Structure 1
Amino acid sequence: MLTAGQSRALSELTAVVVATNSRITMGTPEEEDRAGIAPILVPITVDCTGTPIGENGVDLGSSREFELWVPADFPFMHPEVRTAHRDFAGLPHVTWTNVICLYLSNNEWDPSHGMRGFLRRLLTWLSRAAAGTLVSVELPWHPPVGAFRSSERPVVVRADLTPDLESDRGFWTAWARLSIQHETYMDVVEWSREPTGPLSVPVVGLSQPVGFLFPWSSRDLRRQLVRAGLNIAAYIEMLSRSVAINGANVSPLLLIGSPAPPGHESGTRFASIQAWDVGERGTRAHWLQVFDQRPSRTRRRDRSRPVNWLAGKRILLLGCGALGAPIAEHCVRAGAAMLLLVDNGSVNPGILIRQPYRGCDIGRRKAEAMADRLRDVADFAPAIFADSGDAIRVKADDLTNFDLVLDATASRAVAQRLERLRREVSAPPPMIAVMVGHDCEHAIATVALTASSGGGVDLLRRLSIRERDDRLTSLREDLYPSLPRTEPFLPEPGCSDPTFVGSAADLGGLAARLLNASVEFLSTASNEDTPTAAAVVLRASLGEATYSHYWPNDVVRRDVNTGYEIRIARAALASMRTEAVRAAQLGRIPKETGGLLLGQIDTACDVVWIDQAMGPPPGSGTSPDGIRLEIGELPDRLASLARRTGGLRSFVGAWHSHPRADPLPSATDADTMGKIVNAEVDAPRAALLIVLGGAAGAWERWLDGTGMPEVHTQMYFPSGRSAEG
């Protein structure tokens, strides 16, 4: 009894016979006694009269007979076509001398095309066989295979041929050195003219292509190799040397390399490599499975994707948690040359819900458990190291050993530490910081290039105070809530650190998207016109597409005595220039002017951010000889601003100008700054004074918008302590 699929195949075949006006004719189907299990055989005859014959083509004669083997699961499995003769033996896509391989992979078969599509494919193959064009630059070439598989471990070819072997196009013998890093397979890591140590096996390099299939019998294989140029005595001597070198460590093997057929350029001496298990006795040749991973032959599946930027990079990853752990795996799979994992935490049962650790890792240090896991993921990239120390102890010198620093700790202290350290290195590596909000609604990545004036703390701050962007309103409340959260999420008894709500599916997807967007910015940032810093924001629950923010560098000055770095936003400097121009237009004699500075002073990072410069407050007085800033109303006027920005933007100091003069502070300046930092109520811990000046020519050019003034910075502290920069 035929299956429904086989009955359908016969019906479709009958329709094809009618449609082709008997160019294809069908014989009587034959079926075995195992109904519903075995395929059925359907003889067909194809009329080949008048088929053009090319220079290297096959004469098909007036007709050709074939056997179609239709599987029980047709159309979900494609039929197989065979010949009753060996006329096609040795042709491309012919195995076992009489089986025609019409599909390079099962995925090429489209069940919806049915028998009509299958026969169309057979007719195309016949026309190309007659024309001699089964192999060409335009058509895919199936390398020769060894059909029988040995029980020995498969072979993974990692190394390219040496230049002398690559350039030798004649028949030759050589040696390959194996490496057994894992019990399930062997690597080929070196090629040489002579054995270079243990696990060396002989190699035969053919000068002519072997066809589609290596011989299936050991005797035929030896005969073929002798016809190709192998000296039997030399061959036996090589096998004896291999056995003496390797002992019982590996079964006697012979690697055979074949060039590509004419008309197909492979780009390397060996278009195909097969491994013969010589130690397997019997009439059949036993072939090992070979995976060709030579750099010259393989094309990375991620080569056009953003993470390809990570290939060959040395990466420092801080934090192996919900974001850091999946990102670590992405880095290894992308081909990072070296990865150092830093995390002082341990694996506990609760984190298994969303972090890629195993039950057997409970109690282990995260960094060590993750390093072991990643070595199993990609043992060909063994430069994976674990550090179970605290990420806060990273030193400036450590940064110089890496091409990228990834901060996935979600720790403010670590972020501020990195912000300070990158100032101590002349050329800090690019830095990426990733984090999620308390309910996994927001995910953020900040990216600072080597030339960026700030790192993760700087960029997260810029993002949070960005105005005129309604999409960031909920983000600011998530990261910097105006009121403390009364119900912090504590996932299990004894957990002292509040964490966030989120699943493995949430974090896995967010980690991948953040990494992709970040390295895409890094890979395109070589252009001098591109920004030096960026932030990526994801809105998880809304499925909102990634949107990014970019910034130019601040104008940076440093107090050499205190170590404070003053970062002046270009918009703030432009506001000072606008006020200086206004003052200059009031009379022939340039007047001093000035105002208040808004931003943030971070005493951990030793950084002062200036986001906004205001003009003179009400009640201030300006004259050609100086300026007096009225600061009496400051606390009331600026307290609400600080509350609205979570303390990210508040009063940090004052500025004023010295037109056409040196920008040195006066006694009045010192008196004003002293009153600010020594006030009894709401006095800032420190305050900044900026004085702008310069010679007449330089000053006028700045007012015209074509230059920069001289900038003097000075920090003031309570009790009169000050330092100049």
Structure 2
Amino acid sequence: MEPTELVEVTVPRSAQRPPTVHVTHPRFVGYPHVLNGLLLCIYLDPSREWSPDDGAVGFLNRLWGWFEAAAGGKFDPHTALFHAVGGTDHTDPSTPTVVVRHEIERGRRRVFFSRRSDHRFDMQLDDHPDRLSVPVVTADAPLPLGPGTTIFELSMTLDDPDMKRGGQPALGMRPTHESLYLVLVAAAKRNSAASPQPFVLRVPHPAGGTPHVLVGSVSADIADALRGGQEVSDPKIAWWRVSDERASVTTRRDSTRPTVAFAEREILLIGCGGLGSWIAEFIARAGARRIVLSDSATITGGLLVRQNYTEADLGSQKEAGLAKRLRAINDSVDVEVLSDSEGGDFADFDLIIDATVSLALSQSLSSASLTVMTVQVAVDPRTASTGMVLIKPDSCPETLAELDHRAGKIVGQDPRLEDYHSLWSPGTHDMLVPTRGCSVPTFHGSAADLASAAGVMVSLVGQQLLAPTAGVHLFSLPHSASPDTPASVFITLEPA
């Protein structure tokens, strides 16, 4: 960096967008937070960081801070956005998205795209007649000026990433343009007519580690011309959107939350109603390996008020409708319906969740799940906004029914916990009959109540999976209980 740096500032017409800052020299090419070698990334997220009220003074302070951080080497190349390809997102919003979950090892020449919908392809490593054959192009170095918008521009950047040779290859090397063109022709001939011809561009990251992945494509018309042996003059590239989900470059957004405890677990959920249907979704999103469902009740229209189903599910059994939804949420989770053969053999599960409030089932679980962590969940009948989570660790000598009985006695004798007494009340005086003559009494509660309660329950169970303790969690949602009621209580149930 020079003692004096000259920059060009462009002020947009709209105050809703921040000014932009360019340099007119190539000295910053390849540095973090320098976009395409010339544009300084003053605002990483303008929607949160730029306020028009800050005015010129706020902008100049921000610019000065950028130079201070750059001079001090404080910009982390590992986390800089799109650092390997010039710092900007080159994708066209009208293109499909390619989901990338597999690592692309060095030396691989082809991958395959399977179409999931009009707007989604999944990258696969194995061939199939219904999949597009997609060549892999590997850059020898990062592309700090971006990949270009045509095949010729891409070839130039591959030959000379920082343009110090005017886009020419190194001495003694052949230009990339001809070989790249032949690769696209060969791939296009493997694919059916009227299909576009995508390619994967694998770019080394300046900070090392896993390469960056771009997906470019020539249009179906251009691909058809290539298939037919026609000469095509410098085809344009559409850069497709990429959902890069490779484990080596992705940190889950919930990685520091209690739900991380469900990752790779095998879970049996009994009861897929007001609580169970929401709990199942949250666990599926948390990355469970296997979820087995049990609830043969039929879905009717009135249940849509608060259970996690849709109009298309009416007439289906709950376990089948919920299984379909969970599979649509997470490709990697194995969702099954409990079979008769599994009966009382629950030893393979990491966790059993009883969301039924069934006395008979609770007693049967007590004898069938002695070596598996088991939890029972429930909400109050009047509002569905106070709840309980009863925890029986796998090492607990008492049954779930015994723990429930002890917890009920302790809560019932504590006047501070009066709002929780109804969780152990056998009566139906606070319940409603949804359809005259056709419904058994049920509790009051909305989807907002039950989804909120289920979210609390899942987080509490996640904490218990990491450090299980026999006991009962009691909680109330912010809009429910009286000011004198404790919002959250854990009562330890030590062995009697």
Which TM-score band applies after superposition, normalised by the shorter structure? Answer: 0.7 to 0.9
Match of 2:57 in 1: 116
Q: 1:186 to 1:536 in 2, by over 3 A?
A: same
Between 1:325-334 and 1:451-460, the stretch displaced more is: 451-460
Q: 1:93·1:142 contact (CA, 8 Å) conserved in 2?
A: no
The one of 249, 264, 267 equivalent to 1:297 is 249
Q: 1:248 to 1:370 in 2, by over 3 A?
A: farther
Match of 2:472 in 1: 535
Match of 1:583 in 2: none
Q: 2:471·2:491 contact (CA, 8 Å) conserved in 1?
A: yes
Q: 1:132 to 1:290 in 2, by over 3 A?
A: farther
1:143-189 Cα offsets, whole Å, 9 max, x none, are 22452517441112111244xx3xxxxxx562223333344212224
Q: Which residue identity lines up with residue 488 of structure 2 in the other structure? A: T
Q: Which residue identity lines up with residue 103 of structure 1 in the other structure? A: Y
Q: 1:157·1:187 contact (CA, 8 Å) conserved in 2?
A: yes
Q: Distance in 1 between matches of 2:321 and 2:59?
A: 51
The one of 256, 273, 276 equivalent to 2:201 is 256
Q: Which has the higher contact order (CA 8 A, sep 6+)?
A: 2
Match of 2:352 in 1: 405
Q: Distance in 1 between matches of 2:117 and 2:348?
A: 30
Q: 1:104 to 1:250 in 2, by over 3 A?
A: farther
2:85 counterpart of 1:147: no
Match of 1:596 in 2: none
2:396 counterpart of 1:452: yes
Q: 1:210 to 1:348 in 2, by over 3 A?
A: same
Q: Distance in 1 between matches of 2:76 and 2:369?
A: 56
2:334 counterpart of 1:383: yes
User: Shift in Å at residue 299 of structure 1?
Assistant: 0.7
User: Shift in Å at residue 489 of structure 1?
Assistant: 1.8
SS at match of 1:113: helix
User: Shift in Å at residue 479 of structure 1?
Assistant: 1.8
2:297 counterpart of 1:345: yes
Q: 1:437·1:478 contact (CA, 8 Å) conserved in 2?
A: yes
User: Shift in Å at residue 401 of structure 1?
Assistant: 3.3
Q: Distance in 2 between matches of 1:455 and 1:241?
A: 66
Segments of 5+ residues of structure 1 without an aligned counterpart are 1-52, 54-58, 166-171, 526-530, 554-568, 570-725
Match of 1:711 in 2: none
Match of 2:262 in 1: 310
Q: 1:66 to 1:448 in 2, by over 3 A?
A: same
Q: Which residue identity lines up with residue 479 of structure 1 in the other structure? A: W
Q: Distance in 1 between matches of 2:33 and 2:194?
A: 36
The one of 542, 547, 570 equivalent to 2:489 is 547
- 1:107-256 alignment runs, 5 A limit: 107-111=47-51, 112-126=53-67, 131=71, 133=73, 135-136=75-76, 140=80, 142-143=82-83, 144=85, 145=88, 147-149=90-92, 151-162=94-105, 165=106, 174-190=109-125, 198-211=131-144, 213-227=146-160, 234-248=179-193, 251-256=196-201
Q: 1:548 to 1:184 in 2, by over 3 A?
A: same
User: Shift in Å at residue 455 of structure 1?
Assistant: 3.8
SS at match of 2:18: coil
SS at match of 1:64: coil
Match of 2:170 in 1: none
Q: Which residue identity lines up with residue 181 of structure 1 in the other structure? A: R
Identity %: 27
Q: Distance in 2 between matches of 1:401 and 1:181?
A: 33
SS at match of 1:466: helix
Segments of 5+ residues of structure 2 without an aligned counterpart are 162-172, 223-233
Q: Which residue identity lines up with residue 59 of structure 2 in the other structure? A: F
Q: Which residue identity lines up with residue 343 of structure 2 in the other structure? A: K
Q: Which residue identity lines up with residue 138 of structure 2 in the other structure? A: G
Q: TM-score, normalised by structure 2?
A: 0.82
Q: Distance in 2 between matches of 1:138 and 1:278?
A: 30
Q: Distance in 2 between matches of 1:386 and 1:295?
A: 29
Q: Which residue identity lines up with residue 101 of structure 1 in the other structure? A: C
Q: 1:408·1:433 contact (CA, 8 Å) conserved in 2?
A: yes
Q: Distance in 1 between matches of 2:350 and 2:79?
A: 41
The one of 395, 409, 416 equivalent to 2:343 is 395
Q: 2:381·2:422 contact (CA, 8 Å) conserved in 1?
A: no
2:53 counterpart of 1:102: no
The one of 218, 230, 237 equivalent to 1:278 is 218
1:84-107 Cα offsets, whole Å, 9 max, x none, are 777766654444665433222224
Q: 1:125·1:134 contact (CA, 8 Å) conserved in 2?
A: no
Q: Distance in 2 between matches of 1:478 and 1:409?
A: 13
2:377 counterpart of 1:434: yes
Match of 2:166 in 1: none
Q: Distance in 2 between matches of 1:503 and 1:291?
A: 35
User: Shift in Å at residue 501 of structure 1?
Assistant: 0.8
Q: TM-score, normalised by structure 1?
A: 0.58
Q: 2:390·2:472 contact (CA, 8 Å) conserved in 1?
A: yes
Q: Which residue identity lines up with residue 537 of structure 1 in the other structure? A: L
Q: 2:151·2:177 contact (CA, 8 Å) conserved in 1?
A: no
Q: 1:257·1:274 contact (CA, 8 Å) conserved in 2?
A: yes
Q: Distance in 2 between matches of 1:475 and 1:125?
A: 55
1:266-303 Cα offsets, whole Å, 9 max, x none, are xx230x21111133656643211112111111111111
1:346-402 Cα offsets, whole Å, 9 max, x none, are 221211111122223222222222222222222x22522345x89xx96222x1332
The one of 523, 540, 548 equivalent to 2:466 is 523
Q: 1:523 to 1:417 in 2, by over 3 A?
A: same
Q: Which residue identity lines up with residue 469 of structure 1 in the other structure? A: D
Q: Which residue identity lines up with residue 322 of structure 2 in the other structure? A: M
SS at match of 2:296: coil
Q: 1:325·1:355 contact (CA, 8 Å) conserved in 2?
A: yes
Q: Distance in 2 between matches of 1:107 and 1:68?
A: 18
**Which structure has the greater CA radius of gyration?**
1
Q: Distance in 2 between matches of 1:336 and 1:181?
A: 23
User: Shift in Å at residue 245 of structure 1?
Assistant: 3.4
Q: 1:249 to 1:152 in 2, by over 3 A?
A: farther
SS at match of 1:396: coil
Q: Which residue identity lines up with residue 203 of structure 2 in the other structure? A: S
The one of 454, 461, 466 equivalent to 1:511 is 454
Q: Which residue identity lines up with residue 11 of structure 2 in the other structure? A: W
Match of 1:561 in 2: none
- Matched positions, count: 460
SS at match of 2:439: coil
Q: 1:243 to 1:454 in 2, by over 3 A?
A: farther
SS at match of 2:361: helix
Cα RMSD (Å) = 3.2
SS at match of 1:464: helix
Q: 1:304 to 1:63 in 2, by over 3 A?
A: closer
SS at match of 2:487: strand
1:514-567 Cα offsets, whole Å, 9 max, x none, are 221122022123xxxxx4x221112342274221122233xxxxxxxxxxxxxx
Q: Distance in 1 between matches of 2:443 and 2:301?
A: 16
Q: Which residue identity lines up with residue 222 of structure 1 in the other structure? A: S
2:418 counterpart of 1:466: no
Q: Which residue identity lines up with residue 331 of structure 1 in the other structure? A: I
Q: 1:94·1:212 contact (CA, 8 Å) conserved in 2?
A: no
Q: 1:454 to 1:241 in 2, by over 3 A?
A: farther
Q: 1:319 to 1:212 in 2, by over 3 A?
A: farther
Q: 1:395·1:421 contact (CA, 8 Å) conserved in 2?
A: no
SS at match of 1:219: helix
Q: 1:87 to 1:283 in 2, by over 3 A?
A: farther
Q: 1:488 to 1:196 in 2, by over 3 A?
A: closer
